[in-house]
């Protein structure tokens, strides 16, 4: 995925295992949508499953919700 593009997925905090909807950036950065850190203060997140399983929305797919 080129820089600047992202996908949406599901990841958990590496510290407390809280689960978040996340943006997955082309450089591999994973960040919760609308925030930088977890409520516990940690800022490292692990995708749930592999990348293909974790993606819930491609940035090029229109959101019809």
User: Is 65 within a domain?
Assistant: no
Range of the domain at 42: 6-57
User: Is 49 within a domain?
Assistant: yes
CB atoms within 10 A of CB 22: 24
* Range list of β-strands (E), 3-64: 6-13, 19-25, 30-32, 45-47, 55-58
**26-59 residue pLDDT tens:** 888 999 999 999 999 999 999 998 767 666 766 5
**Listed residue (19, 27, 29, 23) closest to 59, CA to CA:** 23
The pTM (predicted TM-score) of the whole model is 0.72
User: Is 1 within a domain?
Assistant: no
Q: Which two tokens stand for residue 26?
A: 């082309």
User: Is 63 within a domain?
Assistant: no
User: Is 64 within a domain?
Assistant: no
- Number of structural domains, the chain? 1
State whether residue 58 is helix, strand or coil: strand
């Amino acid at each position: 995925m080129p820089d600047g593009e992202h996908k949406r997925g599901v990841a958990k905090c590496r510290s407390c295992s809280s689960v978040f909807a996340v943006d997955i950036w082309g450089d591999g950065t994973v960040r919760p949508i609308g925030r930088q850190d977890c409520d516990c203060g940690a800022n490292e997140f692990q995708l749930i499953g592999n990348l293909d399983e974790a993606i819930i929305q491609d940035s090029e797919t229109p959101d019809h919700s």
